[in-house]
Copies of this chain bind each other. A is one copy, B any other.
């Protein structure tokens, strides 16, 4: 597989850049393929010579970022200090925040989940007293609590609920509630 035709590379690059710019401007759903091709200054029909639809283009753009992040997370030799990985992740995100923001910025019905997390977090903050000396801000802890609860529910549902609600309640407490409360909130002695 030699070097691709320069024209193909150029076109796909222009389309990718145009998509990212447009998402930042008006969100993914509102974008038409004509929007993309006009912004990229590319013929409309040319789009379909490269991608079946918008989603396929987005996937192509995302793959680059995904692979780099996975490389950071798991590309290192085993036995290396895993303590620094956290910093590496957030440094990478900071360096590529424009793209990451676009890829994580959910909208449409997906923003429903975001809405739930938002409302849930506010409730958590309202009903818990933050621990003053904690390095974990209460706002982050609340967001973490709700977001990972939803993720856990999501896993359970998508795997057809293989464990009982009681068992899941245990997991939920051990993996999410207990660590979050002890590290960021003042636990109420019942």
A→B interface (CB under 8 Å)? 28-29, 55, 58-59, 62, 66, 69-70, 73-74, 78-79, 81-91, 93-94, 97, 100-101, 103-110, 112-113, 115-117, 119-120, 123, 127, 135-137, 140-141, 143-144, 147-158, 161, 163, 165-180, 183-184, 188, 190
Contact partners of A69 in chain B: CB under 8 A: 116
- Nearest opposing residue in chain B for A87, CB measure: B169
Given A148-B144, A171-B140, A174-B136, are A104 and B161 also a contact pair (CB < 8 Å)? no
A100 → B minimal CB distance (Å)? 6
Contact partners of A107 in chain B: CB under 8 A: 108-110
- The residue that A86 contacts in the complex, of B104, B109, B173, with Cβ under 8 A, is B173
Given A110-B106, A172-B90, are A70 and B123 also a contact pair (CB < 8 Å)? yes
- The residue that A175 contacts in the complex, of B79, B90, B117, B144, with Cβ under 8 A, is B144
In the complex, A135 Cα to B34 Cα: how many Å? 53
A138 → B minimal CB distance (Å)? 12
Given A66-B119, A165-B94, are A112 and B59 also a contact pair (CB < 8 Å)? yes
Contact partners of A55 in chain B: CB under 8 A: 108-109
- Nearest opposing residue in chain B for A119, CB measure: B70
- Nearest opposing residue in chain B for A171, CB measure: B136
Chain A interface, >50% SS class: helix
Given pairs A103-B109, A140-B155, A143-B155, 12 additional interface contacts (CB within 8 A): A58-B112, A66-B112, A66-B115, A70-B123, A74-B127, A79-B188, A87-B166, A101-B157, A104-B157, A106-B109, A106-B110, A144-B176
- The residue that A112 contacts in the complex, of B29, B89, B103, with Cβ under 8 A, is B103
